[in-house]
Every structure is written in C-alpha cells, then in structure tokens.
Structure 1
Amino acid sequence: MILIVDSGSTKSDWLAVDKNGNKLMDKVRTKGLNPAILSEKKLYKIIKKSEALINNSDKVTHVFFYGAGCGTEKPSETLKSVLKDIFKNAHVEVNEDTLAAVYSTINHPKEAAIVCIMGTGSNCSYFDGEKVHQRVVSLGYTLMDDASGNYFGKQLIRDYYFNHMPENVRVAFGSKFNMEPDFIKYNLYKQPNPNAYLANFAEFMFLHKDSEYTINLIKDGIRLFAKNMIMQYKEELKTVPVHFAGSIAYFSQNEIKEVAEEMGFKVGNFERRPIDGLVPFHTNNL
C-alpha cells in the first residue's frame, strides 16, 4: 500500500493506492499536519484519530507526504520521524507542498519546468530537474497571491461595491452571495482563514464566462501574475514550458493560453488537483 498525502495547515488528504495506481480505500481526510506550527505530540494525535490509517498501518510500504511547513529541515524531520514510527514498514519521504505541484505536472522526473500554482493562493517556482528554486518569497494573500481564488474573490467584491460590474452580472452576484457589509467584514476580519472565504467567490467567474467583464477580469489577473511571478524566470522561459496546478488555473486554461501568447511563454500541462497527478508520478517511479 502506497500512501500519498497532500497537506495544508487546515486539512490533509490521504490517498491509498497499489503499485499500479489502483485505489485501495476511500480518500482519508485528517486535520492539517503542519510541523512548523504543531508539536510532535499533536502530529501523532491527529494521525492516530484516523481508524482507516491506523488499522492499515502495517500494510503501508511507502509514504509520500507533501505539506505546508515542510520546507525547512527541522520540522520536516520531526514529521518524518512521526510517520516512520506509525508506518513502521514504510519508506517515508516528506517534501514541501510546492513539490506536489511540480511532480504532478512534469512529464518525466528530470524535466526542467516553471510550475505555477493557482488555487486558493498562488505561487510560481522553477524546477531544474532536481531542485525547486523560488525568486520571490511569498508574503501571503494580503500582499501577493495574484490570480488566485482569494485574489479574484477580492476583485469581485470590490467591483460589486464600486459599481464596476455590468448590471446583469451585479444582480447575479448579489443573488448568489450575502453581500451585506457587516457579514463580509465579519468573515474577513473576525473569522479564521479569510483567504479561503474570499476564494469561495471565484467560482462565480467560471459560471459567467459569457460576460466580457468576467473574461477581462480573469485575463487581467493572469497578466498580473505573469508579470510579477512568471517573468522572474525570463532566461528559463526561453527553453522550458510553464505548467499549472490548481483549480483556478484549470478553469482558466483558455485565458492563460491567450496571455501566454501575448507575453511570449510556452504553456505546458494543467493539473486541477495535484494529489491526483502524484499517483502516476509515484507509481511509475517506485
């Protein structure tokens, strides 16, 4: 049994497959396992709460874990130690979450590529065939995350309140969401994960792509992301493709390709859910 794990700070998804990629049990979801903010004791407690994982722990031969907080040595080693103790018969690898996007989109393990993430948040890195390189340190959703779900959510709300939406789009938007000022401010400033709250609005764009307003909103966000992130790798762009992971990228493929043509970079693969792309990568490269 091979376990492939995609973990954020709030939740972790576990896939169990055999060496041919066949699913062995339903996807398991636990709380997030961020070793940079959770103690070793808490990491144990979260995993051991899952009967499905514990009952099958002796059958596990490999654990490939990708997660937030795993980009530095000490936290990743702590988590690796916990996983090795629970899955005693398994080979365990712990990697930062950026690598999940890389491995799920590249065509072969040594392919050099620029890999972009566009989901709730956004990021961009260069994979040289062995290591990931990042030219921009993320300062989070407030200052960065162009073309992400939370970016587009913020733009939609602003356009609604500044009366920049066409009337028919504005009516549809106001009908779908609670646009009361106090409700919005409560979710943004008094509730956890305001970035996820903002990202919930982004789906609206893809349900209303018949509007020129929506198409332009998407393309403007992608242009901004390309200018600030992809163009950090101008030399690499001459020889490598740009792959994309995440739901925002997946549903914006046409717009991404149009912007790529405008700005002169080559679009590669799209993967909506990185964890799905990790299955063939790992089963093909055991």
Structure 2
Amino acid sequence: MTMPASPPVLIVGDSGSTKTVWRIVSQGETPEERRQGGFNPNYFSFEGFAEEVRRAFSEPEWAELRGELYFYCSGCGVGEMREAVEELLQELFPRMRVEVQHDLMGAARATCGDQPGIACILGTGSNSMCYDGVQEVDKVPSLGFILGDEGSGVDMGRRLLRAYFYRELPADLRQPLQALLPGGREELVERLYHSEGPATFLAAFAGFVGEHRRHPFCAQLLEDCFRGFVQSHVLKYEQAASWPVHFVGSVAFHFQEELLQVLREANLTPGKILKEPLDELVRYHRAHRVESL
C-alpha cells in the first residue's frame, strides 16, 4: 500500500551575523519558529552552521519534508558563496526546493513586495539597494565592518570605542563604558582580530548608545551615523527623490525616531521600518508559492 505524500511545507529563514530565525509553515497549522546562532559565510564556518541547523531541526523527519525553502543570509550576495550555502542546505533538506538570496533581497521583498522602493538594512551591519518590485536595479556596494557599515550597530560601536580610547568621550560616559570593556585595549584587540564575530562584538555597543540616547554625545553620534548612511547610500540613487525608503533591522527599528529625523532633513519619503523581515517574507512567499499552502 502506497503511503500518501506528506503535504508541502514552506520554510523561510533569515540570517545575520547575530542570529538566524526560521519560520516553518504547514497547511492548516500555526507557523513554528526556530532560532540559532548567526551566520555569515565570510566570517563563520560552514561546518558550524550546518551543525546548528541540525540542532534547530532536531526531529529526524525534517529530512523527509518536501516543499519550498527560502534562506536569506548576509554575505550571500556573491554567486559562488550563495551557491555554496544553497548546496549545503540542499544536502540537509534533500526533498525541498531550496533558494538562497542575500539578506538585502529579503529586505526588499519584505518591505517593497511587488512595488518599487529603496530597501535598506540597518542592523549589525548596513546595506541598501534599489528594487523595482521584481529585481535589483541599482546597488551601492557594502564594504563590510572595516570600511563600511555606515549607520549600523557596528558603526555605533566603532565611533563609541574610538571616542573612548582617544579620550574624546565625556567623563560621565567613560565609567559605565569601561565596565563593558574591563580588559581595555588588550581585550579590544583580542575581540576584533583574534576572535570569531568581530562585527557582532562592535554592534553590541549599540545597546550602550541606546541606554544613553538622550545624552548630547550619543544623540550626536546617532545623527552622524544615520546621516553618514543616507549620504553614502540612499542619496546615491537617482530614484531617492521619488521612491519610498524602507528599512529592516534592529537598529532602524529601535532608533527610528532619530532615523526619521535624518530622513526628513534629507527630504526623503520614509517607508516601512521592520525590526525583522520574517513575517512579511512568509506573506510574500505564500502569495508566490509554486504549491499552494
């Protein structure tokens, strides 16, 4: 007797340097969520990522799932890297149709949907692109946490730590910041140059900026960060004057008051500001599924 085929499922994953979140949608059931550590193929090992996926999807029947899997990941903008991640996930989910895209495409689909707009990411790092409702039409390159990531948590941490070590940080902020980095310069060098996840380390200091956002120094730091992103990215697009500017990411979400002020000063049209794209990505893919769910 032939067993009936299992109903198709939809799996959507979103990964940055800090965390990876999966949403599993089965017919007629409440979507499930799974979380694991962050992944960027430029900085993290494929073996470690695969092991975390196996832990997140611990039940043996996951290997038998069929349907569609979409994975959005920072660092997957280059074809070779995207293909490597796609092959890895295809091995882990052999019966799924797997598609891997960079996280910026996820931001565009989540915020713009089928409409044109400028999609931006402000989280651990930063990125942007012009999206016509179907595909990328223009993109200012992202230069990573050493040369770029303007307006991101990395940018905030970088500016804050420079001010601290160059003795430019106001006295009333020095002591509370020192408590977060008791090892001083030696700890800083170790975390930046000899440990995994230096961008995540820098971005963690965005929490300090948030706690002291009303302090004149931190208020100016936020303004400088967001103004730097708008000038380096958004205003480089000729469509910026007429297309809405959307944002995805924890930094954009938690500091949207300061971000919106900078956008207004630049005469830009704010669009959606999402902390995470997954809910909207699930809606997008349910509307564009190969097999109905």
Establish whether residue 22 from structure 1 lines up as the match of residue 12 from structure 2. no
Aligned-residue offset at 1:77: 4.3
Q: 1:104 aligns with which of 103, 110, 114?
A: 110
* Aligned pairs for 1:20-99 within 5 A: 22-24=30-32, 26-29=33-36, 32=39, 34=41, 47=53, 51-52=57-58, 54-77=60-83, 79-84=85-90, 86-99=92-105
- Alpha-carbon separation, structure 2, partners of 1:208 and 1:31: 27
Aligned-residue offset at 1:31: 7.3
Contact conserved, 1:33 with 1:43, CA < 8 A, in 2?
no
TM-score (norm. length: structure 2): 0.82
Establish whether residue 115 from structure 1 lines up as the match of residue 114 from structure 2. no
**Would the alpha carbon gap of residues 13 and 184 (structure 1) be closer, same or farther in structure 2, given more than 3 Å must change?**
same
Establish whether residue 261 from structure 1 lines up as the match of residue 264 from structure 2. yes
Contact conserved, 2:36 with 2:53, CA < 8 A, in 1?
no
Contact conserved, 1:80 with 1:93, CA < 8 A, in 2?
yes
Q: 2:188 aligns with which of 184, 187, 190?
A: 184
**Which is worse superposed, 2-11 or 253-262?**
2-11
Aligned-residue offset at 1:262: 1.0
Residue 144 of structure 2 aligns to a residue whose secondary structure is coil
Contact conserved, 1:30 with 1:47, CA < 8 A, in 2?
no
Establish whether residue 142 from structure 1 lines up as the match of residue 149 from structure 2. no
- Alpha-carbon separation, structure 1, partners of 2:179 and 2:43: 41
- Alpha-carbon separation, structure 1, partners of 2:40 and 2:210: 31
Structure 1 match to 2:167: 163
TM-score (norm. length: structure 1): 0.84
- Alpha-carbon separation, structure 1, partners of 2:251 and 2:18: 20
Structure 2 match to 1:5: 13
Aligned-residue offset at 1:176: 3.8
Aligned-residue offset at 1:121: 0.9
Aligned-residue offset at 1:105: 1.8
Aligned-residue offset at 1:179: 5.6
Give CA deviations for 1:22-67 in whole Å, capped at 9, x if unaligned: 323x41427748499978x998777556553642232342211222
Counterpart residue identity of residue 205, structure 2: F
Q: Percent identity?
A: 28
Q: CA RMSD in A?
A: 3.0
- Alpha-carbon separation, structure 1, partners of 2:261 and 2:29: 34
**Which is worse superposed, 47-56 or 174-183?**
47-56
Contact conserved, 2:19 with 2:36, CA < 8 A, in 1?
yes
Counterpart residue identity of residue 61, structure 1: G
**Would the alpha carbon gap of residues 81 and 191 (structure 1) be closer, same or farther in structure 2, given more than 3 Å must change?**
closer
How many corresponding residue pairs? 281
Establish whether residue 228 from structure 1 lines up as the match of residue 225 from structure 2. no
Residue 52 of structure 1 aligns to a residue whose secondary structure is coil
Contact conserved, 1:20 with 1:283, CA < 8 A, in 2?
no
Contiguous gaps of at least 5 residues in structure 1: none
Structure 1 match to 2:249: 246
- Alpha-carbon separation, structure 1, partners of 2:156 and 2:283: 31
Counterpart residue identity of residue 212, structure 1: P
Contiguous gaps of at least 5 residues in structure 2: 1-8
**Would the alpha carbon gap of residues 267 and 195 (structure 1) be closer, same or farther in structure 2, given more than 3 Å must change?**
same
Residue 2 of structure 1 aligns to a residue whose secondary structure is strand
Aligned-residue offset at 1:175: 3.1
